[in-house]
Amino acid sequence: MIVKRKKLNLWERLYLPAMIGGFKVTLRHFFKKKVTLQYPEEKWVVPEGYRGAPYLVRDQDGNTKCVSCQLCEFVCPPKAIRIMPPGPAGPVADRPNAEKIPLEFEINMLRCIFCGFCQEVCPEEAIFLMSDYSLTGRSRQEMIYDKEKLLALGGEHAGIQKWKKKAEEAGAQESFPVKI
Amino acid sequence: MTPSQTIAAPPPDKIKVKVDGREVEVPRTVPDPITGKPIPTTMIQACAAANVDVPHYCYHPKLPVAGNCRMCLVEFGTPALGPDRRLVMNPDGTPKMAKSPRPAIACATPISPGMEIYTSTPAVKQMREGVLEFLLINHPLDCPICDEAGECKLQEYSVEYGKAESRFIEPKVHKPKAVDLGPRIVLDDERCILCTRCIRFTRDIAGDDALGIVNRGSYSTLTAYPGRQFDNNYTLNTVDICPVGALTSKDFRFQMRVWFLKETRSICTSCATGCNITVGSREGRIYRYEPRENDAVNACWMCDYGRLNYKWIHREDRLTQVQSPKSRVQGRPATWAGALAEISELLARAPQGSVAIIASARQTNEELYLLKKLADKLGAATDSIPRSGEGDRLLLNADRNPNAQGARLTGICSADMGGRIAEMARAIEKGAVRTLVVFGEDVVKHGLGAGLLGKLETLIVSDILPNETTKLAHYLLPGCAHVEKRGTFTNAKGRVQKFMKAIEPRGDARPEWEFLHELVSRVTGQQGDANLEGLFNRMAKEVPAFNGLAWAGLGNTGVTVSL
Ligand code: SF4
Ligand code: SF4
Ligand code: SF4
Ligand code: SF4
Ligand code: FES
C-alpha cells in the first residue's frame, strides 16, 4: 500500500509553532505532582501475589522442604531448573521420613520467565515465586542460583508438615501383630 | 442354519467371544506360563486379543494366576439355553444372552463359546472405583519420594478411577519403610498392595521361594523368609513387575525420575543369551537397563548381573583419543583421517600372511564381517577370545560373549574359539606375522604377552577402555560401547537381533563399523556401504548363514538363523 504524503501548509512548515507547543506541555508537567519512581534509589512496593523469582523454602523447623521429586524441572517451560537427585548414596533428608532431598538444585534466572508453574506443580510447597523482580549478576554463571542460595533467599515458609505427621502417626501406632 | 451350528462353526481349538460388542477369535487353551501345559484361555486374554485394556494388578501374563487384587472385575454373559438345551434366539436371529448377575475376575475366568464380555458398563466402572478406594485406604501416597512414580499402576488407575479425597478418616496403618530386603532391593511395605507378583516370580520363575506375606488384614506385610536375604540373580525382575513402588532397585534408587528417561531398544551384552532390553538414558548418561519382552529369548526377564553391567560405560578412563606413532612423538592426539590413511597404506603394503587379526566376540556381526573381509584380502589369520563363566537354568549362559555365534558364522573363528591363538603366538615369535590388529580384547592376558607384542612391527588396537594391550599399541583407535552405536548380535541359539543407539560416543570415539568400513574400502578398493542398513544387507548377501536376512526384516525381536 502506498501512503500519500500529506503536503504541509505554511504554518506547519514554519516549525517554530510546533516547538513552542511542545515546550508548553513540558512546562505544564514541570510544575505538576511527579508520578515516576526515582528508581533505583526508590524501590517499587511489590503487590501481594506478585510473581517474582522462584526460591526454595524451609519449614518451621528449618528443614529443606524440597524432596527432589523433579516435577518442577519437568514442568518448567524454558528448562530453567536443574536438579541433581541424591542417588542411593547421597544426603538423606533433614526431616525424618522424607527420605529424599536434592543433592543440587539450580535455577537459571536468565532462563526463568517467572511463570509460576514450578510453584503450582510442587507437591511439597517447597518452591515459591517471591517478590524479587530485578536480578543482576556480572556473569552468566552468577545468574545460576544454587541450592544454598535459593534456600537462603527463600527463607522460612510454615505449613503442613506431612512427613513429620506421618512419622508421629507411625510412632503412635501399636506395634505389629507379628514383628518382622 | 440351526442355532447349534452357529456355536459349532469355529474350529474346535478356537473360540469366538465378543468383547464390548467386538467379536474376536481366541485359542481355547493357552500354554501355562510355568509348565507349558495347555490351560483354558481367560477373559483377560480374550480382552487383550480384542485390544481392550482391562485394569489389573496381580495378573501378569508370564506368571501363574493369583486373582487376589480384584481390579480386573468385568461383567459378562453367556448364550442362554432353553429347557431343550438349545440356544434361545432373539427375534433378529442372534443368540439371546444370559447376563451373569455377578461380575467375574477376568484374569481367572475361562472363556466359553459365544461369551460376551462387558468391560465398560457403569457397574464395571463402579467396581474399579471401589477396589481402588480400598487399595488407597492405607497407601502412603509417597509419590514425590517414590521411584515408581511415573510408571505406577496405582497412579495410573487413580487418575482414571480414583477419588480426589479419601472417605477414610482413621489414621493409616504404618508398615516398615525402606526395608533392606536383599543386596539389590529396598522394600517399602506401606506401598505394597499385596498382589503377590513378586512372590510368584521368585518362587515359580527364579526357583527361590524367598518371599511371603505375614500378618493379616491391613497388617499384611511382605517380607523375606526370616533371617534370609532376598538374593538370587533375578531379584531385580520383581522391581519391574511390582505394579507399585514397594520394591525398588538400590542401584536406581533416587537416581532419576523415570519420565526423563529416553528409552532405547537394545540387547544385553553380558552373556550369549542376548536378553532384549530397554536402555533408560538421559543427556548422555545411562541410568538403567530393563528387560524388554521377547518370547523367543528372555520372556519378560533378565538377570541382575547383566542388568547392572553398564557402569563401565561411564568410566573416567575411557579411551577418547586416536593415537598413532607420529602423534605420540608430537604429544597430541592424531586425527581419524590421518591414522586411517596411514593404517590402510600400511596394510595394503603388507605381504600376504604377515598380518593377524584378533577380533572380539563382543563386537557386532557387521564389524566381524568387515574384519573378516579385511583378513581375506590380507591372507590374515583371525581368531577371537572365549569368555566363560557359570551359567544357570534360566537365562544366564556360560558363554559370556554376546556374539560368539556371530564370530563363528562370519568366519572369524572356528567352532573352537581361541584355538588359533597359540599358532599366532608362534608366528609372531618366528617373525612371520609382523602386524597384529586387535579389536576389543586385552590379548596380553590371553596368550600374547607383552614380550611377544614387542616383537611386532605394528600393533593396531581398537578398544573402549585402557588395558595392557592398548598401552603397547602403535595405533590406538577408540571404539564405542554398544549403547553408543547400532548393530546386530547373534545369540547362542542363532537369533540375530539388532540394538539401537542410546547415547553419543565419548570424545573422539567412533563406532567400530564406521571406521572399519573406511579401512576395508581403502585396503580392498571396493566401495562398501557407509550406512548400517546397507552394510547389514550386504553382509546378509555375502555370509551364507545370514542369507535372506534384511535389516528392516529384523523387527524389534530379531530373526533366528540356523547354526
Ligand atoms: S517460574 Fe516458570 S520459568 Fe521460572 S523456574 Fe518456575 S517453572 Fe521455570
Ligand atoms: S516440585 Fe517441589 S519438591 Fe519437587 S523438586 Fe521441585 S521444589 Fe522440590
Ligand atoms: S507406589 Fe505409586 S502411588 Fe504409591 S507412592 Fe509410589 S508412585 Fe505413588
Ligand atoms: S511388593 Fe509389589 S509385587 Fe510384591 S506383593 Fe507388594 S505390590 Fe505386589
Ligand atoms: S488381576 Fe484379576 S484379580 Fe488381580
Could you say which of A67, A170, A176 has the minimum Cβ distance to residue B215?
Answer: A176
User: Does residue A124 belong to the interface with chain B, where contact is any CB pair within 8 Å?
Assistant: yes
pLDDT tens for each residue of B533-554 = 999 999 999 999 999 999 999 9
Distance A131 CA to ligand 2 centre (A): 19
Domain-embedded: residue A137: yes
User: Does residue A61 belong to the interface with chain B, where contact is any CB pair within 8 Å?
Assistant: no
Is domain B143-148+170-314 annotated with CATH 1.10.260.40? Answer: no
pLDDT of A96: 78
Helix (H, G, I), strand (E, B) or coil at B463: strand
Could you say which of A97, A169, A178 has the minimum Cβ distance to residue B172?
Answer: A169
If you count residue pairs, one on A and one on B, with CB atoms under 8 Å apart, how many are there? 66
Helix (H) or strand (E) holding A105: strand A104-108
Which CATH number fits the domain that encloses residue A115?
3.30.70.3270
In this prediction the pTM is 0.90
Question: Based on the number of CB atoms within 10 Å of its own CB, is B500 exposed (0-12), middle (13-18) or buried (19 or more)?
Answer: middle
Q: Cα B400 to chain center, whole Å?
A: 16
Helix (H, G, I), strand (E, B) or coil at B341: helix
pLDDT of A125: 95
- Asked whether the ipTM of the predicted complex exceeds the cut of 0.90, the reply is no
Higher-confidence residue of A15 and A146: namely: A146
Average pLDDT over residues B556-561: 96
Nearest residue to B484 via CA among B521, B511, B445, B520: B511
pLDDT tens for each residue of B511-531 = 999 999 999 999 999 888 899
- Cα–Cα distance between B340 and B343 in angstroms, integer? 5
Q: Which residues of B touch A (CB under 8 A)?
A: 140, 143-145, 149, 171-178, 214-216, 219, 221, 223, 226, 250-251, 253-257, 259-260
- Cα–Cα distance between B461 and B507 in angstroms, integer? 17
pLDDT tens for each residue of A48-88 = 999 999 999 999 999 999 999 999 999 999 999 999 999 99
pLDDT of B1: 39
Domain-embedded: residue A146: yes
Domains of chain B, residue spans: 11-120, 143-148+170-314, 325-560
Average pLDDT over residues B201-227: 94
Q: How many residues does chain A have?
A: 180
Residue A55: strand pairing partners: A128
Q: How many domains in chain A? A: 1
Cβ neighbors of A3 (< 8 A, separation 6 or more) are none
Q: Is the pLDDT of residue A92 over 90?
A: no
ω into B351 cis (within 30 of 0) = no
Average pLDDT over residues B341-360: 96
Q: What is the 3-state secondary structure (H, E, C) of B59-76?
A: CCCCCCCCCCCCCCEEEE
Distance from CA of A178 to the nearest CA of B (A): 6
Helix (H) or strand (E) holding B222: strand B221-224
- For A92, the domain range is 54-160
Q: Residue for cell digits 527432589?
A: A68
| Ligand with the closest atom to the CA of B149 | 3
Chain A residues whose CB is inside 8 A of the B260 CB are 70, 73-74
pLDDT tens for each residue of B378-417 = 999 999 999 999 999 999 999 999 999 999 999 999 999 9
Do B512 and B367 touch, CB atoms closer than 8 A? yes
- Cα–Cα distance between B71 and B135 in angstroms, integer? 10
Q: Which three three-digit cell numbers place residue B394?
A: 534360566
User: Does residue A103 belong to the interface with chain B, where contact is any CB pair within 8 Å?
Assistant: no
Domain-embedded: residue A108: yes
- Cα–Cα distance between B228 and B224 in angstroms, integer? 6
Chain A residues whose CB is inside 8 A of the B222 CB are none
Instruction: Tell me the HSE value of A161 on the side-chain side, using a 13 A CA sphere.
Output: 19
Do A131 and A46 touch, CB atoms closer than 8 A? yes
Q: What percent of chain B has pLDDT over 70?
A: 98
Distance from CA of B556 to the nearest CA of A (A): 30
Is domain B11-120 annotated with CATH 3.40.50.300? Answer: no
- Cα–Cα distance between B517 and B366 in angstroms, integer? 9
Do B554 and B496 touch, CB atoms closer than 8 A? yes
Domain-embedded: residue A176: no
Q: Is the pLDDT of residue A176 over 80?
A: no
pLDDT band at B131 (very low <50, low <70, confident <90, very high): very high
Nearest residue to B247 via CA among B330, B321, B341, B182: B182
Level-2 CATH architecture, domain B325-560: 3-Layer(aba) Sandwich (3.40)
pLDDT of A178: 54
Distance A154 CA to ligand 2 centre (A): 14
Distance B56 CA to ligand 4 centre (A): 13
Question: Based on the number of CB atoms within 10 Å of its own CB, is B3 exposed (0-12), middle (13-18) or buried (19 or more)?
Answer: middle
The secondary structure of B441-462 as a DSSP string is: --GGGGT--HHHHHT-SEEEEE
Please answer yes or no on whether A74 and B214 come within 8 Å at the CB atom: no
Distance B182 CA to ligand 4 centre (A): 15
Chain A residues whose CB is inside 8 A of the B176 CB are 180
pLDDT tens for each residue of B409-438 = 999 999 999 999 999 999 999 999 999 999
